[in-house]
Amino acid sequence: MSDIAIHWFRQDLRLSDNPAFIKACESGAVLPIYILDDDTAGKAKMGGASRWWLYHSLKSLNDSLKGHLRLYKGKAADILPNLQNIYGAKTITWTRCYEPWRRQRDEALKEQLKQKGVTVISQNGSLLWEPWQVLKADNTPYKVFTPFYRKGCLQSAPAPAEPVAPPADMVFAKALQEEAIELEQLDLLPKPPIPDWHLSLEPHWSIGESAAQKRARDFFETGLQGYKMGRDFPALSHISKLSAHLHFGEISPNQLWYWAKEAAQIMQDKGQTIDADIDHFCSEIAWREFSYSLLFYHPDLPDTPLQKSFEAFPWQQNDVALLAWQMGQTGIPIVDAAMRQLWQTGFMHNRLRMVAASFLIKNLRIDWRIGEAWFWDCLVDADLAANSASWQWVAGCGADAAPYFRVFNPVLQGEKFDKDGTFTRQFVPELAKLPNKYLFKPWEAPSAIIQDCGIQLGKTYPLPIVDLKRSRQQALEAYEICKSTAFAQSEHK
DNA sequence: TGAAATGTTGGGGCG
DNA sequence: ACGCCCCAACATTTC
C-alpha cells in the first residue's frame, strides 16, 4: 500500500469510534498529525488548563499510535496543504469541529485541497447528531431545550450512530525527519517565571483514551444509580466527570450513549430500575448537543447576548471584587469553595458553576463574559459551545435561559446541597470548625463561636464582599432598567 | 436546574 | 364550648 492518507486529529484524540480515522486507515498508509493552531483561534485560543490537558492527551494518543503522531504549530491553513505536498497524500480525513473559527478554516481548506485533487473526508465523530439533523418542522433550529431533546433528538432525528471499533491494523506512513516538532515545543505547559499552577491539577486527573474509557465504566458501574438526585451534591461522586474527555474527544458521546443503554439493560436484569437516572444522564449529554446547536446557528454566542435587550445591561466594573471571586475570597463560603475547587482541580461541580456564576453576574453584577473568560482559562473541560451557552443561560440572556430574576442565594444553596458541609470544609478549611448552622453564613455567627473556632473574620477569612440581600435587590432593579430601556429603544424604531 | 413575599389552612393554647 | 390568636406548614404569586 503506497498511497498516503493524512488523518488530522483535532477534538477526536482517540482511536475507538473514530470513523474519520478509520477512513484514513482504509485509504492507505496513515500519517496521523496534530496542529496547534493558536494563530487562527484568535480569542478562542485555548486556556491554560486545556493546554495542560492537551499536553497529556497528545502524549497518550502518541503512545496509542506507537509514536507515529506528528506535531505541528501554526496556521493549519498553511501547514496542511504543505504536508499534503511533501507527502503526496491522496486522502485527508478529519472529524468535524463546530467552533466558528474552525468551521471557517476547515471549509476553506477542504475547498482548496479538493481543487488539488485530494480526497477530503470529514465525518461526524463528536456529536450524537449534527446540528442540521435536529431541526423543527419548519427547518429552523430549536430554541428551547426540552422540545429540542424530546422531539428533535429522540423522535425526529435518526438514532445515534453505533460506536465502531478501532482499526484492526494500522500501517503508518514513513515520516520524514525534519518537518514536525516535539511535544515540548508546542509550549503547552507554562514556563517559569509563570507559576506552575498546573502541577496542582496532576493528582486529580488521568488523561487519554483508555483513562476516559475507564472513567466511563467506573461511572456506569458505581455512579449511575442515583445519578438524578446525587448529581446535585458536590460532596458525592454521582457525577461522570467525563466532560474534559468528551471535549477532547478521548471518548465519543455515542460510546457513552450506548454504554448507558447497556447499563440500563444490565440493571434491569438484576431487577433494579434506573430508568430515571439513565434518562437524566442522556439528557445531560443532550445539553451538550443543544449547546453545539446554539453555537452552530449563533456563531456570536461566545460574546453576544442572544437576547438583545441585554446589550443595555448596566454591568459594573469592579476589579477588586473580580479578583476576590477568582481567588475564592468573597467571604461567601460556598462560592469560595467552588472557586477554589476550580483553581485547584481544573473542575467545578455543575451546581456550583451555576451558584458561582449567578453570584458574579447578579450579586456583583460583573459582565458574564468576564466570568466566561475565567472559566475558559481554568477549566480542563473548557468548551466554547458549552461554556458560552451556559454563561448565557445563567445570565438569563441566552436561548431557553434561566429567567433573569432567578437569583441563587448562595447561603441556601450551601445549606441545601452541601448539608453536612463536607465539600465546603474541604476547600475552605479555615472554616472547618464552624458548626453547620453558621458554615454558610459565618457573618451571622455569634462572636464567641467565631472565636472558639479560631476564626478572625476579615483576617483568616474575609467578610462578605457584598450584602446578599441588597445586591439581589439591585440586580433585579438593574434588570428592570435594562428591560425598559430596551423597550423604549424598540419603540423608537 | 430559585427565592422571597404573600396567602391559606389547621391545630393548639388560652381566656 | 367557643372564639381568638399564634404560628407552623404548605401553596401561590411575584420578582
In chain A, where the domains are located: 1-125, 127-162+211-297, 308-492
Q: From the alpha carbon of A411, which nucleotide's C1' atom is closest? A: B3
**A356 or A492, which is more confident:** A356
Pairing of strands A29-36, A70-73: parallel
Q: According to the model, what pLDDT value does residue A479 have?
A: 87
Q: According to the model, what pLDDT value does residue A336 have?
A: 98
Q: According to the model, what pLDDT value does residue A492 have?
A: 53
**Angle in degrees, 0-180, between the axes of helices A350-358 and A368-378, rounded to the nearest 10:** 140
**Is A262 a known active-site residue?**
no
Q: Does position A362 have pLDDT exceeding 50, yes or no?
A: yes
Give A72-98 as a DSSP string.
EES-HHHHHHHHHHHHT-SEEEEE---
Angstrom distance (rounded) from CA A439 to CA A424 = 8
Question: How long is the CA A456 to C1' B8 vector, in angstroms?
Answer: 45
Evaluate if the CB of A390 falls below 7 Å from strand B: no
For A444, other C-beta atoms within 10 Å of its C-beta total 9
Q: According to the model, what pLDDT value does residue A203 have?
A: 97
Angstrom distance (rounded) from CA A197 to CA A395 = 29
**Is A284 a known active-site residue?**
yes
Q: Which of A318, A350, A430, A443 is catalytic?
A: A350
Confidence of residue A113 (pLDDT cuts 50, 70, 90): very high
Q: From the alpha carbon of A290, which nucleotide's C1' atom is closest? A: B1
Sign of CA dihedral A105, A109, A112, A115: negative
Q: Does position A425 have pLDDT exceeding 90, yes or no?
A: yes
Q: From the alpha carbon of A400, which nucleotide's C1' atom is closest? A: B1
Residue A172 DSSP class:
B
Evaluate if the CB of A405 falls below 7 Å from strand C: yes
Evaluate if the CB of A436 falls below 7 Å from strand B: no
Q: Does position A257 have pLDDT exceeding 60, yes or no?
A: yes
Residue bearing cell 458561582 = A356
Give the closest residue to C15 (Cα–C1′). Answer: A405
What is the rounded average pLDDT of the residues A62-88?
A: 97
CB A3 within 8 A of CB A119: no
Confidence of residue A480 (pLDDT cuts 50, 70, 90): confident
The number of CA neighbours under 13 Å toward the Cβ of A349 is 27
Q: Does position A129 have pLDDT exceeding 90, yes or no?
A: yes
Confidence of residue A418 (pLDDT cuts 50, 70, 90): very high
Over residues A222-248, the pLDDT tens digits come to 999 999 999 999 999 899 999 999 999
Question: How long is the CA A159 to C1' B13 vector, in angstroms?
Answer: 65
Strands annotated E in A253-297: none
What is the rounded average pLDDT of the residues A374-392?
A: 98
Evaluate if the CB of A440 falls below 7 Å from strand B: no
Q: From the alpha carbon of A476, which nucleotide's C1' atom is closest? A: C15
Question: How long is the CA A340 to C1' C5 vector, in angstroms?
Answer: 50
Over residues A435-465, the pLDDT tens digits come to 999 999 999 999 999 999 999 999 999 999 9
Angstrom distance (rounded) from CA A452 to CA A438 = 13
Q: According to the model, what pLDDT value does residue A132 have?
A: 98
What is the rounded average pLDDT of the residues A178-183?
A: 92
The three cell numbers locating residue A368:
458574564
Question: How long is the CA A42 to C1' B3 vector, in angstroms?
Answer: 40
What is the rounded average pLDDT of the residues A85-101?
A: 97
SS3 label, residue A30: strand
Q: Does position A491 have pLDDT exceeding 60, yes or no?
A: no
What is the rounded average pLDDT of the residues A96-110?
A: 98
The three cell numbers locating residue A54:
492537551
Residue bearing cell 500501517 = A171
**Is A94 a known active-site residue?**
no
Q: Does position A493 have pLDDT exceeding 50, yes or no?
A: no
Evaluate if the CB of A481 falls below 7 Å from strand C: no
- Whole-number percent of chain A with pLDDT over 70: 98
Q: According to the model, what pLDDT value does residue A477 have?
A: 92
CATH 1.10.3720.10 fits A308-492, yes or no: no
How far from the centroid of its chain's Cα atoms is residue A479's Cα? 28
**Is A257 a known active-site residue?**
no
Nucleotides of chain B within 7 Å of a protein C-beta? 1-4
Q: Which of A101, A197, A284, A443 is catalytic?
A: A284
Q: Does position A339 have pLDDT exceeding 90, yes or no?
A: yes
Q: Which of A94, A391, A393, A409 is catalytic?
A: A391
Q: Does position A271 have pLDDT exceeding 90, yes or no?
A: no
Confidence of residue A264 (pLDDT cuts 50, 70, 90): confident
Could you tell me the fold of the domain covering A1-125?
Answer: Rossmann fold (3.40.50)
Q: Does position A490 have pLDDT exceeding 70, yes or no?
A: no
Question: How long is the CA A431 to C1' B4 vector, in angstroms?
Answer: 28
Question: How long is the CA A353 to C1' B3 vector, in angstroms?
Answer: 18
The three cell numbers locating residue A100:
466558528
For A469, other C-beta atoms within 10 Å of its C-beta total 10
Q: From the alpha carbon of A146, which nucleotide's C1' atom is closest? A: B1
Question: How long is the CA A195 to C1' B14 vector, in angstroms?
Answer: 71
Q: According to the model, what pLDDT value does residue A14 have?
A: 98
Over residues A145-170, the pLDDT tens digits come to 999 999 999 999 999 999 999 999 89
C-alpha angle A245-A155-A229 in degrees, rounded to nearest 5? 50
Could you tell me the fold of the domain covering A127-162+211-297?
Answer: 1.25.40
